[in-house]
Structure 1
Amino acid sequence: MRIAVTGSIATDHLMVFPGRFADQLIPDQLAHVSLSFLVDALEVRRGGVAANIAFGLGSLGLEPLLVGAVGSDFAEYEVWLKEHGVDTGAVHVSTERQTARFTCVTDQDANQIASFYAGAMQEARDIDLWHLTGGQSRPDLVLIGPNDPAAMLRHTEECRDLGLAFAADPSQQLARLEGSEVRDLVCGARWLFTNEYESALLLERAGWERGDVLERVGTWITTLGGEGVRIEAANQPPVKVPAVPDAHVADPTGVGDAFRAGFLAAAGDGLPLESAARLGCVLASLALDTVGSQSYSVDAAQLLATATRAYGAEAAAELAPLLERTP
């Protein structure tokens, strides 16, 4: 399956707070929060949702097409992505702005407070998808990841006009989107990806009930952190896939992106959705064990061993043919 991944490409600045955010919040003062956290560590890593997902897909042996906007400081990052199987031919390079920056503080309970500077990502709205449809370059699926909101809306509408299947992953941008924009991004998606909090926020922003969403998408995939994943489709009972048990937590940043890469790789290979979710969870556990969204290395034997331990030999055997094709 040829997958085009649109969305943010960024540099991550990851910090660790040794306490708990919750202990610093005074309930009757939440309208006047003014806090500064003294952090113990700083890691500067490659990131951005689209780049993270493309990295995961490339590491699994696919050749995803990355679509996004970056600054002139992207050259070294681009080499890294190409070395991991990512096609960067559709990346727009700004002459005026730097690549986006993601700044995140994680506490000892793995809660996170983050901010995002868009930088060159603001120019993603100028990218069109029409040039992706010629010959063998035409993607089988376009993932619409968190990006400049105007770019997300444009890419979604272009997918409809071009007859391209698309996946909706509004993620962090739900906080910036109006209800009508959320509805436009979701309607007609083959896959809808959210985490549990985002699923509630999506319903609130769109003014929908859960059934309203399921009537408008093919399948809704909701990640539940340590509880695993919920898979929902209209007129079908929900399916829950547990997370890999006892996974070591080094850094939760980008874990959801790794899940999406694993899920899409398996679903695109024709595997059942439950199997796709298992591969997503296995790849997520690998990302969770490293600091940085693209610090993990894919090893087929290790992934199969993890899948066997978490889900049993029969479930792992379903994933074996796909993993045996990894670089």
Structure 2
Amino acid sequence: MASLICGSIAYDTIMNFEGRFQDQILPDQIHILNVAFLVPSMRREFGGCAGNIAYNLKLLHGEPVIMATVGGDATPYLDRLKDLQIDTGHIRTLEGAFTAQAMITTDLSNNQITAFHPGAMNESHLNQVSDVAAARSQKKSAPITLAIVAPDGRAGMWEHCHQLAEAQIPFIFDPGQGLPMFDGPELLELTELASYLAVNDYEGEMLSKRTGLSLAQLGERVKALIVTKGAEGAQIYTGGKSISIPPVKAAQLIDPTGCGDAFRGGLLFGLENGMDWETTGRLASLMGSIKIAHQGPQNHQLSLDQIKDQFKTAFGFGF
């Protein structure tokens, strides 16, 4: 089995502000906002939703297949993915563009301010789900049995959801930071096409407001709606019931960048392997906890056995 990961490949420039944004931003002066944050430390990481999700799924010994667009500066990233034995055959390189770039500033409370240049990501609609399926069939590779549409170019997200539905491939719709690009009717249409819907609690509120439906009502339109709630765990709405997923206490709170993607890597692995929602949600929760204890979205390097040991310690049973 293989999972198609549709989404962004990006370089993350991560900066740490040794204060709190709330102390620097005056609420009554928002209309003339002009602030600068001194960031003594800065580093560049491999990121982007598709790259991060694929990395975490690979840690669990899943088989991620990335479909994305990158710029002429992507060679170091592509080489890294190949070293990790992640399929890069469906990553399109556009030489005249930059790979997407995220400039992320994190404060002492783990709040983040991000500036994002989409670059080649805006051309993600050039990729076609049918091309991936045909190529894998020709090579006699494992067929795509599951997919996720994560934040990407607007046209790419829209078309890939429709293409996956047409190909009858179940997929998770993960609008994430791309949610504001769609209006209420569009979000409802994409939700109707999806098998699963994954959002964080803030995105869930925005989704409810735009569609006019409660989370419980949205959950009725998919096989499952997964809402992550940070340190409070997650909630899964499925089959007319709501399942609470407990958080896993992290060894350290270092960097939240990519925690949601780590969670989604766990979701895909659970779905690939037919786990029940209680187990799938707990594995996803653990992956987010492991990630937050490391700098950058792809620097946690646990073996599958180590992940299984941590899972058993946290929950008292194995997967």
CA contact (8 A) 1:142 1:164 kept: yes
Matches of 1:57 and 1:82 in 2, distance apart? 15
Structure 1 segments unaligned to the other structure (5+ residues): 320-327
1:64 aligns with 2:98: no
Matches of 2:24 and 2:239 in 1, distance apart? 42
* DSSP 3-state at the match of 1:212: helix
* Match among 246, 258, 270 for residue 242 of structure 1: 246
Matches of 1:186 and 1:291 in 2, distance apart? 33
Q: Which letter does structure 1 place at the counterpart of 2:20?
A: R
Render the CA deviation track for 1:257-277: whole Å, top value 9, x for unaligned: 011101211221111111111
Match for residue 14 of structure 1?
Answer: 14
Match runs of 1:279-294 below 5 Å:
279-294=283-298
Matches of 2:131 and 2:86 in 1, distance apart? 18
CA contact (8 A) 2:61 2:304 kept: no
Residue 25 of structure 1: how far off its partner (Å): 2.3
Matches of 2:143 and 2:271 in 1, distance apart? 18
State the identity %.
Answer: 33
Residue 246 of structure 1: how far off its partner (Å): 4.4
Matches of 1:105 and 1:28 in 2, distance apart? 23
Residue 143 of structure 1: how far off its partner (Å): 0.6
Residue 234 of structure 1: how far off its partner (Å): 4.3
Larger strand share, 1 or 2: 2
Structure 2 segments unaligned to the other structure (5+ residues): none
CA contact (8 A) 2:220 2:240 kept: no
Matches of 1:83 and 1:30 in 2, distance apart? 46
Matches of 1:229 and 1:212 in 2, distance apart? 17
Residue 137 of structure 1: how far off its partner (Å): 5.1
1:252 aligns with 2:256: yes
Match runs of 1:105-254 below 5 Å:
105-134=105-134, 135=137, 136=141, 138-236=143-241, 238-254=242-258
CA contact (8 A) 2:165 2:194 kept: no
Matches of 1:29 and 1:139 in 2, distance apart? 51
CA contact (8 A) 1:152 1:185 kept: no
Q: Which letter does structure 1 place at the counterpart of 2:244?
A: K
Residue 208 of structure 1: how far off its partner (Å): 2.1
Residue 305 of structure 1: how far off its partner (Å): 3.0
Render the CA deviation track for 1:215-252: whole Å, top value 9, x for unaligned: 2111011111111111112422x111111124411110
* DSSP 3-state at the match of 2:144: coil
1:75 aligns with 2:38: no
Residue 174 of structure 1: how far off its partner (Å): 1.2
CA contact (8 A) 2:149 2:171 kept: yes
TM-score (norm 1): 0.92
Matches of 1:214 and 1:188 in 2, distance apart? 13
Matches of 1:24 and 1:284 in 2, distance apart? 29
* DSSP 3-state at the match of 1:108: coil
Total equivalences in the alignment: 314
Matches of 2:294 and 2:52 in 1, distance apart? 13
Q: Which letter does structure 1 place at the counterpart of 2:191?
A: V
Matches of 2:263 and 2:157 in 1, distance apart? 21
Render the CA deviation track for 1:294-323: whole Å, top value 9, x for unaligned: 1110223432332233212xx2x2x1xxxx
Residue 111 of structure 1: how far off its partner (Å): 0.7
Match for residue 325 of structure 1?
Answer: none
Q: Which letter does structure 2 place at the counterpart of 1:89?
A: G
1:26 aligns with 2:19: no
Render the CA deviation track for 1:139-196: whole Å, top value 9, x for unaligned: 1112100000110000011112221211100000112222232222211322211111
CA contact (8 A) 2:53 2:261 kept: yes
